[in-house]
Amino acid sequence: MTTPPSPENLSRREFVRTASLAASALAAGAASTAPAAESVKPPAPHPLLTKAADFQDVSRGNPKPHTLVGEALVQARLTPETWRLEIVADTFTSDVVKEPASLGKQFTLDGGNALDLPALIELGKKHSVKFLKAFQCLNIASPLGQGLWEGVPLREVLRLCGPMKNVRRIYYSGFHNNDPKQLFQSSLTYTEAMETAPGELPPFIAWRLNGDAIPLKRGGPVRLVIPWAHGFKSIKWLQRIAVTNDFKAMDTYANANNDPESHLKTAAYIDHAPEKFSAGQPIFFTGLALSGLSGLQRVEWWLHRVEPDAKPVVQDDETYAAAQWTPCELEAPPSDWSSVFPAGVSSKDVLGFDPKTGKPATWPLRYSMISWFATLRDLKPGKYEFRARAVDMNGFAQPEPRPIAKAGKNAVEVHKFEVA
Ligand SMILES: Nc1nc2c(c(=O)[nH]1)N[C@H]1C(S)=C(S)[C@@H](COP(=O)(O)O)O[C@H]1N2
Ligand SMILES: [Mo]
């Protein structure tokens, strides 16, 4: 499934691009009057939290659930008061699956006991999860945004159902205008949902983003957040969970030739930058680096000077293979996380941070993104290509490990510019 381009979908990067363009323009303006080249200031890092409204939106549905208002929203059970979650046992059997899944207790609308938001919040008092996650769509080259999500582990919610039998997968879906054709669904294995290894990250049911209620557009009142996964696993407007003995992933994304078990990839992204610079000034490039499944060791850049009539550089050709890459500077962890996180949130309570010191256990945090910077000096007039790539903890440089078709985009980005 591809995402239709839409003008309302101004991505976080576009947003930041606009901001950094403004910064570059400022810098250029300052340069004309400033005596020393070094008076040009490098741009500031991207904010670690993307405002809820600034995420790039990837939503299906006609009408899209977040455009509903008034009575339609109430009928859809998408207000905090009307939201309900059903948890049922799927009756599926087949030639090879002889016995259906069963649950000690189901939660249904018909039975009058579907879970509501106060019940979740109550559960959250005992079992709370907070996690800083970069969102990325498997089909879109740049990340959608990064937020602090809060909720309760899926395993704690499933535990309310008592003994489970013959459960191999957890299927789940969101509001879909009560039209089977619009259903957007995803799944996890039983193990992924129930058995979180020490230091690992649990899938969780979230109702807060950046300290506020999750807005309707971001999938509120309640959405699922799967820390390691591309966006399609994190179902918005969550309404139904079915435990099943079907061993197959029935994810909507799998139908469109995507890998339904893809993990976020380690990768670097270049912010928008001017196409022309004046000689004699340092040139700053910036971007984001996402720490995916294999972690982030470093980000590095390569500058290629384009000689007149030279043949274009292609990934893996001789010029590319002989490239000299230089490490970029990475944004340091903030010394004061209270100025990053919403009021009342201590980093000691956020997954991925040391609960004693409140410092990040790894940097960048797993499945989050930070800014990188590169400063280029003394460039002679001419045409150039600037590339940036991430190197993961296994020593693989982007685009390695080569993405198989549809396991997440991972191309090395290039910015072409001229020094005059
Ligand atoms: N119910 C529902 N959940 C959904 C989707 C959807 O269309 N409907 N899109 C998914 C996809 S493909 C992505 S990439 C993310 C995007 O999340 P965002 O719009 O909050 O950025 O939501 C996921 N959850
Ligand atoms: Mo997506």
Quick: pLDDT tens for 73-107. 999 999 999 999 999 999 999 999 999 999 999 99
d(CA 185, CA 233): 8
State pTM to two decimals: 0.90
| For ligand 1, mutation pick of 209, 232, 233, 409 (most atoms within 8 Å of CB) | 232
Residue 362 CA, ligand 2 centroid: distance in Å: 27
Report the pLDDT value the prediction gives residue 42, as an integer from 0 to 100. Answer: 79
How far is Cα of residue 410 from the mean position of the Cα atoms in its chain? 14
Whether 380 shows a pLDDT value over 90: the answer reads yes
Mean predicted confidence (pLDDT) in 39-56: 91
Spell out where 161-320 has E strands: 164-165, 169-174, 185-189, 204-209, 212-213, 223-225, 238-244, 267-270, 276-277, 283-290, 296-306
Phi/psi for 85 (5° steps) reads: -120, 125
Residue 175 CA, ligand 1 centroid: distance in Å: 12
Q: Judge contact between 136 and 408, C-beta under 8 A.
A: yes
Residue 320 CA, ligand 1 centroid: distance in Å: 36
Compute the C-alpha angle 61/65/69, nearest 5°. Answer: 140
- Mean pLDDT (the chain) is 91
Report the pLDDT value the prediction gives residue 154, as an integer from 0 to 100. Answer: 98
CATH architecture of 7-44+265-419: Sandwich (2.60)
Report the pLDDT value the prediction gives residue 11, as an integer from 0 to 100. Answer: 37
Banded pLDDT at 210 (limits 50, 70, 90):
very high
Whether 234 shows a pLDDT value over 60: the answer reads yes
d(CA 305, CA 412): 17
**Which ligand has an atom closest to residue 218 CA?**
1
With the CA atoms of 365, 44, 356 and 265 taken in that order, what torsion angle do they form, in degrees rounded to the nearest 10?
0
What DSSP character marks residue 317?
Answer: S
Ligand 1 atom nearest to CA at 59: 7
Residue 240 CA, ligand 2 centroid: distance in Å: 20
Banded pLDDT at 39 (limits 50, 70, 90):
low
**Which ligand has an atom closest to residue 186 CA?**
1
Percentage of the chain surpassing pLDDT 90?
85
Report the pLDDT value the prediction gives residue 405, as an integer from 0 to 100. Answer: 65
Ligand 1 atom nearest to CA at 219: 20
Whether 34 shows a pLDDT value over 50: the answer reads no
Whether 252 shows a pLDDT value over 80: the answer reads yes
Q: By three-state DSSP, how is residue 120 classified?
A: helix
Say which CATH topology domain 53-253 has: Sulfite Oxidase; Chain A, domain 2 (3.90.420)
Ligand 1 atom nearest to CA at 57: 19
Residue written as tokens 């089977």? Answer: 180
| For ligand 1, mutation pick of 3, 9, 13, 58 (most atoms within 8 Å of CB) | 58
Residue 135 CA, ligand 2 centroid: distance in Å: 9
Q: By three-state DSSP, how is residue 392 classified?
A: strand
Residue nearest to atom 19 of ligand 1 (CA): 57
* Among the listed residues 52, 41, 54, 45, the one whose alpha carbon sits nearest the alpha carbon of residue 12: 54
Q: Is the dihedral of CA 405, 406, 408, 409 positive or negative?
A: positive
Q: By three-state DSSP, how is residue 386 classified?
A: strand
d(CA 417, CA 270): 13
Residue nearest to atom 10 of ligand 1 (CA): 232
Residue 200 CA, ligand 1 centroid: distance in Å: 23
Residue 9 CA, ligand 2 centroid: distance in Å: 13
Mean predicted confidence (pLDDT) in 278-307: 97
Residue nearest to atom 15 of ligand 1 (CA): 231
d(CA 17, CA 19): 5
> What confidence tens digit (pLDDT) does each residue in 306-355 have?
999 999 999 899 999 999 999 999 999 999 999 999 999 999 999 999 99
Residue 58 CA, ligand 1 centroid: distance in Å: 5
How far is Cα of residue 56 from the mean position of the Cα atoms in its chain? 10
Residue 322 CA, ligand 2 centroid: distance in Å: 35
Percentage of the chain surpassing pLDDT 70?
90
Residue nearest to atom 22 of ligand 1 (CA): 231
Residue written as tokens 């999750």? Answer: 214
Report the pLDDT value the prediction gives residue 409, as an integer from 0 to 100. Answer: 82
**Which ligand has an atom closest to residue 177 CA?**
1
Mean predicted confidence (pLDDT) in 265-286: 96
Ligand 1 atom nearest to CA at 138: 14
Ligand 1 atom nearest to CA at 136: 14
Mean predicted confidence (pLDDT) in 9-13: 36
Provide the token pair at 316: 């893996």
Q: Judge contact between 194 and 155, C-beta under 8 A.
A: yes
Report the pLDDT value the prediction gives residue 403, as an integer from 0 to 100. Answer: 64
Q: If phi over 0 gives left and psi between -120 and 50 gives alpha, with beta otherwise, what is residue 357?
A: alpha
Residue spans per domain, the chain: 7-44+265-419, 53-253
Report the pLDDT value the prediction gives residue 43, as an integer from 0 to 100. Answer: 86
Residue nearest to atom 23 of ligand 1 (CA): 232
Q: Which residues line ligand 1 (CB under 6 A)?
A: 55-60, 135, 137, 144, 174, 184, 218-219, 231-232, 234-237
Ligand 1 atom nearest to CA at 1: 12
Banded pLDDT at 163 (limits 50, 70, 90):
very high
Report the pLDDT value the prediction gives residue 32, as an integer from 0 to 100. Answer: 38
Report strand pairing: 169-174 vs 185-189.
Answer: antiparallel
Whether 62 shows a pLDDT value over 50: the answer reads yes
* Among the listed residues 103, 99, 100, the one whose alpha carbon sits nearest the alpha carbon of residue 91: 100
Residue 40 CA, ligand 1 centroid: distance in Å: 40
Residue 152 CA, ligand 1 centroid: distance in Å: 19
Banded pLDDT at 420 (limits 50, 70, 90):
very high
Ligand 1 atom nearest to CA at 55: 21
Q: Judge contact between 133 and 227, C-beta under 8 A.
A: yes
